[in-house]
Amino acid sequence: MKIRFANHIAREQSGRSMIEMLGVLAIMGVITVAAIAMVTAAMRSANRSAVQDQVTQIVTGVRSLLGGYDDFSGIDNGTIFAAIGISNKNPYNGDYMLSTYPADPRLFVLTITGLNQSDCQYFKTKAWIESFGFQASDGKYSGADADPSDCSAHDGRNSIRIVFN
């Protein structure tokens, strides 16, 4: 009888309780949520960096291709993007679009579409160096503006325009 009792105690002590398992699952859930947040932040940062790099390439390409002319009235999206060698698609599943600035053909506009609210606000307030109207002193006016409703769309339908010369 003593042997059976000892075996019974050993079996109970080697098992895990339901509370312990729930505790482990809760810890794993917290770790998973933190990992998802980190991956999301890394993806957001990578997309923003990619857009900034692509904007630099596009602006450099437009200036290189059309810089010898008096104005940018001959700007053509298909020709420009083919000559630059990059796609007009951006990392947000939107487009890059080039146009002549309506009030002054010596300026051109780069529009970035497909942005969500936070990325629209980020790019709108980013200091686009070499953009028309950039003011480094206050950091608020960047040469970019939101189109058409000031970054208020919830489903990736926001866009910004950046004016360059």
**Cα–Cα dist 155/57, whole Å:** 27
Q: What is the pLDDT of residue 136?
A: 44
Q: What is the pLDDT of residue 157?
A: 85
Residue type, 31: I
Alpha-carbon separation of residue 154 from 25, 102, 116, 119, 149 (angstroms): 34, 28, 6, 11, 11
**Cα–Cα dist 165/148, whole Å:** 22
Residue type, 62: V
Question: Which of the residues in the chain have pLDDT under 70?
Answer: 1-15, 133-143, 145-149
Cis ω before 102 (30° cut-off from 0): no
Helical (H) or strand (E) element with 97: strand 96-100
**Cα–Cα dist 15/136, whole Å:** 65
3-class secondary-structure state, position 51? helix
Q: What is the pLDDT of residue 9?
A: 53
